[in-house]
Amino acid sequence: MEKRRLGKTDMYVRPVGLGCMGFSHAYGLAQDKETAIQTIRQAYEMGYNFFDTAECYTGENADGSISYNEELVGTALKDVRNQVIIATKFGVEHKGDHLELDSSPKKIRESIEGSLKKLQTNYIDLYYQHRIDPNVEPEAVAQVMKELIEEGKIKAWGISETDENYLRRAHAVCPVTAIQNRYSMMARWHENLFPVCAELGITYVAFSPMANGILSGQFTPQSAFEKGDFRNNMPQYQKEGYQKAEKLLSLLKDLAKKKNCTMAQLSLAWMLCKEDFIVPIPGSRKVNRLTENFEAQDVKLINYEIEKIDALLDSIDFDIFGGHSS
């Protein structure tokens, strides 16, 4: 089975990884602990070997207690630790309706110890700066990463939601293994980083590869989400957002039927065909969806099909959470 190299390291991952955020965070109440741990473990057993979490992925359990995403991942994978690649992140804290950013060396040192404890491990494979902190220079962050690698606490590091200038400055101090930015058919504004990734040997880990689920074709304008689900306020799930996505969803539905695959698989296969350094990390709480996503690596698109999709994408200005398509 195909594997993709993480940057220039000796770590190799399946073409599709698992974004674990949704077990705890952003989709209403957290999934109950035992079920979440079991689902993550089932993902490993079906072939996933790349698991993505973060210090700030927390949520509320049904009993009012806090769900710590890192704890779920750590518990599920602790006895197969040397068989998996675990990525987590530092530098963000959720404060009500906004994010508080802190990538100071002192805070990073505190965060790494907390993450190691919650993940029940003595090293982290890939440690991301979750968001750029405007108060801390990239060189300062990269220097701490260099020290953590030398100390054996992390194997490699990355940056989430980066731009080219920040990436190059950080990379000059301590080579960056991966970036993690939003990327999907409806969110392509970071494609300008592809040449940089190719030049520097950096993996592009794509979060929200199905535009927060809408590209799966499982939702309609009448779909209802529970209280606390971030999709309630996302533009692609509003009436106008659906209307703008209608032609794309129709094309994907027809093409998926011809390819004998699902729309979700088609969405993932599309980006896997783009570059061999792209690794999408879709998430789901449902085992059947995890299987479906994982098997997307077996769906192959020919150039004509990719060009047809891209031509349509170029003609639509999508309403999409996290930025603008144009």
- H helix runs in the chain, sequence order: 33-46, 69-77, 105-119, 138-150, 164-173, 194-200, 239-259, 263-274, 287-294, 303-314
Inter-residue long-range contacts of 97-103, CB under 8 Å, 24+ positions, other chains counted? 99/131, 101/131, 101/132, 101/133, 101/134, 101/135, 102/133, 103/129, 103/132, 103/133, 103/136, 103/141
Evaluated on CA atoms 207, 211, 213, 215, the torsion sign reads: negative
Q: Using alpha carbons only, what angle is made at residue 230 by residues 226 and 235, rounded to the nearest 5 degrees?
A: 115
| Pairing relationship of beta strands 66-68 and 58-60 according to DSSP bridges | antiparallel
Concatenated DSSP letters of 96-129: TTEEEE---HHHHHHHHHHHHHHHT-S-EEEEEE
d(CA 234, CA 289): 22
Catalytic residue (one of 27, 48, 57, 166): 57
Alpha carbon of 210 to those of 44, 118, 145, 215: distances in Å?
21, 29, 31, 5
123 is catalytic: no
Single out the residue of 72, 75, 111, 77 nearest to residue 93, CA to CA.
Answer: 111
Phi, psi of 187 (to 5 degrees): -140, 90
Catalytic residue set: 57
